[in-house]
Chains A and B, each alone.
Chain A
Amino acid sequence: MPNPIDAAARATPPTVARRIRGLSDRAIAWLFVAPTIFLLLAINIFPLIWTVRLSFTNYRANRPNEEVEWVGLRNYIRILTDDGIWANMQTTAHFLFWTLFFQVILGFALAWLINRKFKGNDLLTTLIVLPMMLSPAVVGNFWTFLYQPQIGLVNYTVELLTGTPANSFSMLGPGGYAPWSIIIVDTWMWTPFVMLICLAGLRSIPDYIYEAAEVDRASKWRQFWTITVPMVLPFLMLAVLFRGIENFKMFDMVVLLTGGGPGNETLLASIDLKREAFEKWRTGYSSAYAIILFVTVFGLASIYVKALNKVKER
């Protein structure tokens, strides 16, 4: 007569046997994931819900004892009908468009050149990448020095190259240059980002495609437009997505360069939001503002990701 315990042991699959020696895989999975989920809920999800809640009130964080009233959609209506906010949105759009434009052109061109694999391209790539890893606040602050009207390096260089006297214009002051000054610094910082991603795209194109084109006697120009550009496009679009999201919420670098000035010339949405939330202390109102900004990026990004996936499938 066979021992029933032995039979059961023989029939037990190895995974179950393993479980007896330690925690089950399931328990380990939960044990490992739980703290992260908890932290994400506490730092990401819970604040978001709280912001939504606040956005329907007239709460002011500097007067915590005042009675809080529900105001329904009033904050949203006020924001969406405010000309000042539309002006900030346009400033943000201007900044977004030109930074992306310059970064895509320069970044792609650089990647295309670096991909020739000349001697020392590794070293140069590493050097070029440095600006984007640095603290935007510290760097933005230092650029105000480079932009000084009298003594700054930028004005001096302009004088040296074009003969325009260095003290005749101010990059951050009145005169309409300030929106371009922040675009220059952002382009300086983030072109390497687009470059790195494009470079990965270029390196992903197998040589045999070019070899086949060469055999078919396609011109270099044609090869560029029918092979290189379409194959790098998904990468380039990804770079634009990341930069677009980042620059839509741009705060640190610009706040230290111009603080939104002169006047409201460089008042990006994020900087305006900071003024409303932490200087005027209109907490409820600025929560609604924040939600509107978030929904805008979220919506635009979702549409964009759909387009990106279509390009990838092609």
Chain B
Amino acid sequence: MSAYSITEPTRRSKLVAGVLVALYAFVTLLPLVWIISTGFKSGPDSISYPPKVVFEPSLEGYVNLFTTRTRVGAEEFENLPTAETWYDQIVRDQGMVIAGPSRFGERFLNSVIIGFGSTFLSIFLGTLAAYAFSRFKVPLKDDLLFFILSTRMMPPIAVAIPIFLMYRELGLSDTHLGMILLYTGVNISLAVWLLKGFIDEIPREYEEAALIDGYTRFQAFRKVVLPQAATGIASTAIFCLIFAWNEYAFAVLLTSGTAQTAPPFIPTIIGVGGQDWPAVAAGATIFLMPVMIFTILLRKHLLRGITFGAVRK
């Protein structure tokens, strides 16, 4: 851009714009800051009125998130040996003792297994298909975008009805494999479409040169195209991962125990008389953090991913 241009906004308008956007950012981030800070509040602090902005940090929420606790009789409580660890102590301070670990760890691990499993599968199959769509004449190629859009028009519950019946027949209900296949099926059309966009941008001449040098098509794909498409593959992978990570409707309808992921689990964390908000907030923080980090890493390709490649920068 030239040093001076008549279309360049004036200094004052830049300042006003900056202040207004910063104000919006402040308001919009407040709920997120509130989630994170509630995770470090003690039970009474979290529900005090007026809401506490300054408070004494406590790990109660995190300890409660990972443990189940029971109340014991007053006499028995008095006679307990002194708490051995810091987390024992935090639970004692609430007048309870630790009964065992909670299910949060398992649910989080399920999210990781299903998220990464389906992402790997979507990317593996998606890259192959995207290459074929990009380089060869394949029937139905032009209908692909509309197809992707139309698969997204089905309400998740509508898809869940036949999948529920199908999985019941096949014994895939509430299994990791079932969820991985389902999320892959939902993600793959998006993955193919995004990856096709990235591969289209790689000049064909590179492969043609490799083919002339005696590479087979497959070698050219592996040694020339894949390294070139690495960034595109990585950002597509993150989109697939975020979808699977955040998904709720299928997870709540098709899993109940062994394969349940964190989103249906977190809202069920309850304490004495209602939801245990510091624990819920702690769980939410642990769960949302990876996505926040990925979003920041991904910011250059964000637009392309959320519009299914319809808008590119």
- Residues of A at the B interface (CB closer than 8 Å) are 14, 18, 21-23, 25-26, 28-33, 35-37, 39-40, 42-44, 46-48, 50-51, 54, 61, 64, 106, 110, 113-114, 116-122, 124-139, 141-143, 145-146, 148, 150-153, 156, 166, 188, 191-193, 196-197, 200, 203, 207, 210-211, 214, 235, 238, 242, 245-246, 248-249, 251-252, 256, 269-270, 273-274, 277-278, 283, 286-287, 290-291, 293-294, 297-298, 301
Contacts and interface: CB of A to CB of B under 8 A. Distances in A.
B273 to A, nearest CB: 13
B9 interface: yes
Q: Which 9 A-B pairs have the closest CB atoms?
A: A43-B185, A22-B216, A290-B158, A137-B248, A47-B162, A135-B246, A118-B18, A249-B155, A32-B128
Nearest to B251: A137
B47 interface: yes
Contacts of B47: 148, 151
A145 B264 contact: no
A39 B156 contact: no
B155 A269 contact: yes
A246 B154 CA distance: 10
B155 A128 contact: no
Main DSSP-derived SS at the B contact region: helix
Contacts of B295: 126, 129-130, 133
Interface of B: 1, 5-7, 9, 13-15, 17-18, 20-22, 24-25, 28-32, 34-35, 38, 47-51, 125-126, 128-129, 131-133, 136-138, 149-166, 168, 181-182, 184-186, 188-189, 192, 211-212, 214, 216-219, 242, 245-246, 248-249, 252-253, 262-264, 266-267, 275, 277, 280-281, 283-284, 287-288, 291-292, 294-296, 299, 302-303, 306-307, 310-311, 313
A19 to B, nearest CB: 9
B129 A136 contact: no
22 contacts: A18-B217, A25-B136, A28-B132, A29-B136, A33-B128, A44-B189, A47-B163, A50-B165, A50-B166, A54-B161, A61-B164, A117-B9, A139-B284, A142-B284, A145-B280, A148-B47, A151-B51, A153-B30, A203-B313, A238-B310, A249-B153, A251-B155
A30 B153 CA distance: 28
Contacts of B184: 39, 43
B165 A110 contact: no
B34 A146 contact: yes
Given A193-B306, A196-B303, A141 B266 contact: yes
A127 B248 contact: no
Main DSSP-derived SS at the A contact region: helix
Contacts of A51: 158, 161-162
Contacts of B153: 245, 249, 294, 297-298, 301
Contacts of A298: 150, 153
Nearest to A284: B161
Contacts of B164: 61, 278
Contacts of B34: 146, 153
Contacts of A132: 306
B263 A135 contact: yes
